[in-house]
């Protein structure tokens, strides 16, 4: 494989603009017009409309699909995106269009904000027998990623890196037509699998972009294949990340698997384990507490989610809570922190403050608070309190919250001997 061509990426986040182009295959309808289509790669907008100068260019574009191309005047052109069938503007942007050129506008979301990335569809086709592919990492939450490629049937351990530390859009890579296995991992760590695409077909002279977008948990990514001036194909993540937090009385031991994946072996309470990649959907659980098999009840893991399985209570009657973890990255200069209540026998809610500023309030047993955005840097005092106690349940001093870090305070143990565990989740 070799990298060919020179391009600039055109990235528009509302009013921010860059440009991306290669050789020249697309063409607009006339010397004064361009053609534009919309690709909806969001999960928050089931359908989107694209409007310019009061004209509907594309309507009800469903998630994972593309509209047809529509003619639009070239030059500086304003576009409005609205939720399908709505009259309320969701995003606006202005693009400088070149006459006679086709554009694909890709809609994504980040931090509940609708974003638009525009690509110029004029990359020249490769030589006969080859295809071209590039990667566009549009997930701000995921951070930098690596892309590995092997022939169909290969494995990640032996795969070669196509691109590393990708945060934006790569150049095009020319590759022989055929079927490949593609893996997306966290930058510099092959064990940090973010997306697995086991059978990717690249056809003769195809010009293809793999667009990566965020998931609800913030770490895994979804994919979307966009063929230049052609079809799109959604590549949804089929996995979730789950970890085990064990708080069985009398330092009880917990062993757990979810859909055949180990979450921890003989974990002695109180303890918080590491995330494991698990097939999403209904969870087939195999859990033992102090050596005896127990029933967790019906649990389900949404695709792309980060979750904590909290095991609490007496070993003879353990309770299980599946908590949703929001591990999306905050902006630079900020950190996110949340509070999980797993204390046995407390009988009340708990609250968290940072330097006496409230972070989480009235967190009930078996639940976790929403992530709260705070300034990064040194926190002199993290403190957990309860209405059931006149003294602090937990204190941590001189805590350094890193920029864009995500943290959880797990309160475990029991009402007479609570245990606080501060974890950096990202």
The pLDDT tens digits of the residues spanning 365-413 come to: 999 999 999 999 999 999 999 988 788 999 999 999 999 999 999 999 9
Q: pLDDT tier at 18 (50, 70, 90 boundaries)?
A: very low
Comparing CA positions, the residue from 311, 398, 409, 316 lying closest to residue 360 is: 409
State the pLDDT confidence band at 5, using cuts at 50, 70 and 90: very low
Full set of structural domains in the chain with CATH: 1-124 (2.60.40), 128-237 (2.60.40), 238-325 (2.60.40), 330-426 (2.60.40)
pTM of the model: 0.88
Predicted confidence (pLDDT) per residue in 101-148, tens digit: 999 999 998 767 888 999 999 999 999 999 999 999 999 889 999 999
pLDDT at position 17 is 32
Neighbours of 117 (CB within 10 A): 23
Is it the case that residue 23 has pLDDT exceeding 80?
Answer: no
Q: What is the pLDDT of residue 30?
A: 58
Report d(CA 237, CA 218) in Å as an integer.
12
pLDDT digits over 135-147, tens only? Answer: 999 998 899 999 9
Check residue 390 and give its pLDDT.
80
| pLDDT in the model for residue 6 | 27
pLDDT band at 44 (very low <50, low <70, confident <90, very high): confident
Q: Which of 329, 377, 332, 327 is nearest to 355 (CA)?
A: 377
Per-residue pLDDT at 363: 97
**What's residue 297's pLDDT?**
93
Q: Which tens digit of pLDDT belongs to each residue from 166-182?
A: 999 999 999 999 999 99
Cα–Cα distance measured from residue 388 to residue 392, given in angstroms and rounded to the nearest whole number:
10
Please give the pLDDT value at position 27. 45
């Amino acid at each position: 494989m070799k990298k060919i061509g020179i391009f600039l990426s055109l990235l528009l986040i509302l009013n921010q603009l860059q440009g991306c182009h290669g050789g020249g295959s697309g063409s607009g309808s006339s010397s004064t017009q361009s053609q534009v289509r919309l690709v909806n790669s969001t999960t928050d907008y089931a359908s989107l409309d694209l409007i310019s100068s009061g004209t509907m260019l594309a309507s009800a574009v469903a998630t994972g699909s593309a509209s047809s191309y529509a003619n639009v005047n070239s030059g500086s052109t304003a576009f409005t995106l609205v939720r399908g069938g709505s009259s309320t503007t969701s995003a606006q942007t202005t693009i400088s269009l070149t006459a006679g050129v086709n554009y694909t506008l890709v809609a994504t979301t980040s931090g509940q904000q609708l974003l638009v990335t525009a690509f110029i569809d004029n990359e020249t086709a490769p030589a006969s027998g080859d295809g071209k592919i590039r990667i566009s990492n549009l997930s701000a939450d995921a951070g930098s990623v690596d892309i590995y490629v092997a022939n169909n049937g290969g494995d990640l351990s032996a795969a070669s890196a196509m691109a590393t530390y990708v945060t934006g859009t790569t150049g095009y890579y020319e590759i022989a037509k055929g079927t490949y296995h593609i893996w997306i991992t966290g930058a510099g760590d092959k064990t940090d699998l973010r997306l697995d695409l086991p059978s990717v077909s690249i056809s003769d002279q195809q010009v293809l972009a793999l667009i990566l977008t965020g998931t609800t948990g913030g770490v895994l990514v979804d994919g979307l294949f966009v063929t230049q001036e052609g079809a799109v194909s959604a590549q949804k993540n089929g996995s979730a990340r789950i970890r085990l937090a064990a708080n069985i009385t009398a330092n009880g031991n917990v062993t757990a698997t979810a859909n055949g994946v180990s979450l921890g072996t003989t974990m002695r309470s109180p303890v918080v384990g590491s995330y494991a990649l698990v097939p999403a959907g209904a969870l087939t659980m195999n859990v033992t507490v102090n050596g005896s098999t127990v029933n967790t009840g019906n649990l389900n893991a949404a695709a792309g989610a980060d979750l904590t399985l909290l095991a609490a209570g007496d070993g003879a009657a353990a309770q299980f809570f599946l908590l949703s973890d929001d591990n999306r990255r905050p902006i630079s200069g900020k950190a996110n922190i949340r509070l999980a209540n797993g204390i046995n026998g407390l009988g009340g809610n708990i609250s968290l403050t940072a330097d006496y500023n409230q972070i989480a309030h009235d967190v009930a047993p078996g639940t976790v608070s929403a992530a709260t955005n705070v300034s990064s840097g040194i926190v002199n005092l993290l403190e957990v309190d309860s209405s059931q106690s006149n003294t602090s349940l937990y204190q941590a001093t001189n805590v350094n919250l890193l920029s864009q870090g995500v943290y959880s305070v797990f309160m475990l143990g029991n009402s007479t001997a609570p245990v606080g565990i501060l974890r950096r989740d990202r």
